[in-house]
Structure 1
Amino acid sequence: MRILSKLLPASKRMLVITSFGIVMLLTFTTLMLFYATQKEVVIVENGKESTVNTHANTVEELLGKVGIKVGVHDALSYDKDAKIVDGMIIEYKQANKVTVTIDGEKKSYYTVADTVEELLEDEKITVSDHDKLSHQLEDAIHDGLNLSVTQAFQVVINDGGKEKNVWTTGGSVEELLKSNKITLNELDKIKPGLDETITKESTISIVRVEKKKEEVSDTVAFKTERRNDSSLPKGTEKEIASGEDGIVVKTYEVIFENGEEVSRELVDEEVEKESKNRIIAVGTKEAQNLVTLSSGSGKEFVMTASAFTATCSGCSGYTATGINLKANPDMKVIAVDPNVIPLGTRVWVEGYGEAIAGDTGGAIQGMRIDVHVPTKSDAYKWGVRKVKVKILD
């Protein structure tokens, strides 16, 4: 200004100063008007908020000025051609590319969802409680995320004969048992093997195996021992010691499969009680005066008498004369040699009483008879003895 004041006269100097002031005033006024006419807009970009003052007319124009290019899958709170107004809040979210693999089949999605759960809901992808999801539902979505879903299926487990359906997404048989809290014992059998891979066609079969020891008491039948006795008449027998059965305890190893016995092996045997033989004395003394004869009725014999019962093994119960001894167990009947005592003859037998000669026998020959008694026990008690036999008619 000092230079200007030296170069210009005072009148001209005043004119220059006035013009400069006017220019400055216009510039200031223009600037004030520019800023005063701007609209204040809040832009929320991917969750990050910023405030801008703009003369842009549309949302698209404004976003272009701040370097935001809206893609086809991006989210925008206003249409691109919406007019800008003061105080507007524009929300913009860039879409992320997510690859979803379901049972090996891949598909890409562009999403503005915040979490895995929102993505599944938006795309109507159903994931059941039994399915296997690679991420947690609350995990955040980011660009390039790879999300996998393994859908569950049911398989049958036959556990010891009891079937149940369980859900699985595959893996090994061992993993399936563990997830269902099924344990195997040392002897149990399983098909397929524990390291086999589960498929939709798999059926798991478990055979529950138990090994037990079992003790069984068996009877050892006594034997009959015959001893010659010269003090007894020949042809007679006498029991001098009754037999007694023994007892042996056998230990078996028994294998059960699903509760049913499949094998039994004898592993130990111990005699708990020894058997005792039945001893029969057999007479060897020669008999004297075996026959005493008299004529007709009243004839007497001294004969060897044994005993029989109709309940013996293989016996029909009927005598040679047709008497049913099983129906009449107490009937007095003797077997005779018909050449000595005719069939049908009434007789009296010492120690037995009145009887009918109603039967024969292969061993009943000559001076020998067989008396009928109700039971085997009675036959043992009778034994073999010498008796008087009298003809009654």
Structure 2
Amino acid sequence: MTANMKKLFSVATSGKGLIMSIVSMILLVGVISFSVHEFTKSTVTLVIDGEERSLKTHAKTVDELMLENEILVGEHDYIEPSLDTELTNDANVVWIPAVLVHFTNNGEKTPIWTTSSTVQDLFNELNIDIGSYDRVEPSLEKALVEDMQINYESAFTVTLNSDGEETEVWTTSTTVADFLKAEQVILGELDRVEPEQEEIVKANTEINVIRVEKVTDVVEEAINFATVTRNDNSITRGSEREVQSGQKGKVAKHYEVIIENGKEVSRELIKTETIQDSRDRIVAVGTKQVTQSVSRSSSPTSTSSGSQGDWVTFQSTAYTANCAGCSGITSTGVNLKANPNSNVVAVDPSVIPLGSVVEIKHNGRLLGRYKAADTGGAIVGRKIDIFMSSKNSAINWGRRNVQVRVVNN
């Protein structure tokens, strides 16, 4: 019994040793294999956004290296060397992931994939030279991030005419209002600008600031007096006497005046104020009948203008009823305004009696028959003033010598 037990123990002991030997052998092979595996790895440097990583890898290409490190390289990313490049020991791999930014260039929007790190780098990448007056938002030092909005406006020149000065100004403003605000041009309540404030400013635009003033101008004007005639039977017919002298009146006219850049552009009458009333001139016209002694000799040598059949040379002028201050009523009471076609002449009653009918001819042509129905302060001696309905006709007549004879008184 004892001998059998020893035999069994011996067998068991020898089996355990075999197992241990096998396990040891496996471990040794594993260690050797691991050592060989690790020893055959390549050492590479991976640079991601400027940060270096030292890696051991069995990857054959750059692409395998990136996949091994769970890095998905996008089509816009920067990778150097290229993905299909075979790796060598001590290789240096640089990867910069691209970001999508939204770039607006003078109003035109464009999505851009870029590996630039700052706004300045992006402009360098796009070969855009930024001028001194150009506008960039955000600032050039700002780091680029995904979905960043970048706005760029290139400056241009416009001409500003304001307060008597012409200035060439660099600007990136989009409207006239923005431009004026940037240039600190303040508009008054009445001021205006051309083009209008809502207009878009473009290169070489001319912007005119018009300073507008509204003022009141008061102008005093004289008002002519009227001449009123009154029949007076105490005065010999053909004579006149001033009963009351005339006096001009005075009014103040209030004008609203618009002034643009120092020059008057409009004037509107808004109020008329009487300062002093005018006073009529009153003239008494004699109506007392007197016996007229008129020679009717047919002697061709007679110089009496009242002789029927004798033609006598007179100096003639012409007048109308529509002159300033004229009543239109003759000294004998004929209303010339109501009867514009009347054949009337003004005479010196001491030469041709009032009420007489005269014939007048000029250059041998008979002008017609006229009634001596009016007088005038300048009609003295052999002078007559012929009434004409048209002012232009009276002006055109001027001063002419005519032949006159009395045919009835």
TM-score when normalising by structure 2: 0.47
